[in-house]
Structures are given as structure tokens and as C-alpha cells.
Amino acid sequence: AQSVTQPDIHITVSEGASLELRCNYSYGATPYLFWYVQSPGQGLQLLLKYFSGDTLVQGIKGFEAEFKRSQSSFNLRKPSVHWSDAAEYFCAVGVANQGGKLIFGQGTELSVKP
């Protein structure tokens, strides 16, 4: 069965420091991969997605992610974190032949220290 694992439940970084959020997936074929962000009391906003092609994808708000097939990973990165990046981040997999169903990881809560 398909699954998504985000090993870090909570991460704290200092403002201006770099950030990497980890995501590992389990899926037989090339998955459709997404990163979403959720601020308190809000819905999910798409940061970036990977379907095929260049394994380094750029998203909104200065985020990027790299797809590594050999490691079944799709880690999210940002070179310099801003206080407004504090939120919960979700990695998700879209599965072929299952329509619009997304399988989400448990999420990583990001705190930013001033």
C-alpha cells in the first residue's frame, strides 16, 4: 500500500537559517508528489509539485524540493527561513488510477526562533 512518512514531527529553526523537511514515500511506480503548507485555522496551500522531468522543483515562497528515486524521498528545502514560514507542512502522494485521492504524511510543525 502507498504511504508517506515525515520523520520529524516538530522542527525549530532560527530566522535566516536554512531548512530541510524530510519526506519518504512508499509507492511502486513514479508517484505524483506534493508539498502543502497549513497555517493555524487555515486550509492547505500548495507549495510545489513533482510529476516528472527535472528532479529539482521550485515552488512558491522560495521553497524547493528534490525528488530522489533511489531514496524514495522528496525533501523540502528553503535557504533562509522567515518568521512567517512558521506553520505545518504536509507531504502528499497522488496515486495513478485512484483519481484525486491524496495520501498525506503526518505533517511537520515548523517553529521559527527570532
Partner 1 sequence: KAGVTQTPRYLIKTRGQQVTLSCSPISGHRSVSWYQQTPGQGLQFLFEYFSETQRNKGNFPGRFSGRQFSNSRSEMNVSTLELGDSALYLCASSLRTSGDNEQFFGPGTRLTVL
Please, are residues 13 and 77 in contact by the beta-carbon 8 Å criterion?
A: no
CB of 70 to partner 1, least distance (A): 22
114 binds partner 1 (CB under 8 A): no
Q: Which residue has the cell 521559527?
A: 112
Binding mask 40-79 vs partner 1 (x if CB under 8 A, - otherwise)?
Answer: -xxxxxx--x-x----------------------------
Q: Which is nearer to partner 1, 103 or 112 (CB)?
A: 103
| Residue 26 phi, psi dihedral angles, 5° rounding | -125, 115
All three cell numbers of 32, joined, read 505524483
| Residue 78 phi, psi dihedral angles, 5° rounding | -150, 130
| DSSP E strands, 15-86 | 19-21, 24-26, 32-38, 44-50, 56-58, 64-68, 73-78
Q: Which is nearer to partner 1, 76 or 92 (CB)?
A: 92
Residue among 36, 63, 67, 74 that touches partner 1 (CB under 8 A): 36
CB of 71 to partner 1, least distance (A): 21
Give residues in contact with partner 1 (CB under 8 A).
31-32, 34, 36, 41-46, 49, 51, 90, 92, 94-107
